[in-house]
Structure 1
């Protein structure tokens, strides 16, 4: 286990294995541009401004994670934050994996690594995210995450599509996952 993985996971914690040749790490400001490109190239995420990804890497690095290839370049990420009024809840904002790294279990490994870190360091016991009804991959990702962690999943529409000013946006369904049986030791 690399120093970065040991740091994220704690001393004796385990989670889904990172695909060979990749390392789990905390994002740095200089990763913002690469994270923005991965989000843009995903073609499914709502793309935020490049500035917001720089801020995310500065202000929410402790609740986010990147996967780095052998050259140290980001090839996947999870951005998240702690809900201010619910400090035991991690809100996962975005998950994306570079096209060349898809199909290797990287998104699940990123989520497990982040969950291990925020559970141990911040006392997180629940995860929330929103997913549009047509995003089958994210539905599977978060449903399997909940299963690995022995957690229930509750789903409710958080934002109806008509609330979005740009029109044509599907509803955002809130997934409430928890309590996590043991975020650091998936089944």
Structure 2
């Protein structure tokens, strides 16, 4: 098995991350350009997991809320199908939280989870337990806000983080 390494993403990782998002089958896939731009501007609030040869096999994209700089908003989380079930998603979230806490001032993590996405719900509930933090779930965007067919999105707010 490959040894997995957690790292700050590089712009060059954008194409591989776009592929992982597209092949996940569950994420709303952004343009390939957006992943390049994201890793240029938000690399410090994102993480990739690399397999041998420095090949990205998973990622978390995030940003600090401008109105609440102590809050990390997790935009997307995905792991390549061949690497799922090895704890990579949780390890990336923990790594990112530790990095941002060390940089100063991370108290909350927010994300949205689509109705019925049990895997994401479990990932963030588990993260909250590991960090000794409460999790509050509220409807953020009802389905009718989206064009076409889209599930409602629920805001998960975790914090304050204790560890």
Q: 2:143 matched to 1:169?
A: no
* 2:127 is aligned with 1:136: no
In 1: Cα distance, 2:101 partner to 2:72 partner:
9
SS of residue matched to 2:63: strand
Relative contact order, higher structure (CA 8 A, sep 6+): 1
**Paired residue secondary structure (1:108):** helix
Corresponding position: 1:118 with 2:108:
no
Deviation at 1:35, TM superposition (A): 0.4
Matches within 5 A, 1:84-99: 84-99=66-81
Q: Deviations over 1:39-74 (max 9, x none)?
A: 000000000011100001100000000000011000
2:159 match: 178
Distance in 2 between the 1:20 and 1:78 partners?
A: 20
**Structure 1, gaps ≥5 residues long:** 1-18, 183-187
CA contact (8 A) 2:24 2:78 kept: yes
C-alpha RMSD of matched pairs (Å): 1.0
Can you give the 5+ residue segments of structure 2 that lack an aligned partner in the other structure? none
The aligned length equals: 163
Partner residue in 2 for 1:3: none
What SS is found at the alignment partner of 2:69?
strand
Q: Distance in 2 between matches of 1:150 and 1:56?
A: 30
The 1-side partners of 2:91 and 2:4 are apart by: 11
Q: Does residue 88 of structure 2 align to residue 76 of structure 1?
A: no
Write out aligned runs for 1:135-154 (5 A): 135-154=117-136
Counterpart CA distance in 1 for 2:52 and 2:21 is: 21
Following superposition, the deviation at residue 168 of structure 1 comes to: 1.1
Higher strand residue share: 2
Contact 2:14–2:39 (CA<8 Å) still a contact in 1?
yes
State the Cα distance separating 1:20 from its structure 2 match: 5.9
2:20 is matched with: 38
| CA distance in structure 2 between the partners assigned to 1:122 and 1:42 by the alignment | 32
Partner of 2:40 in structure 1?
A: 58
Give me the whole-angstrom Cα distance separating, in 2, the residues matched to 1:117 and 1:62.
Answer: 9
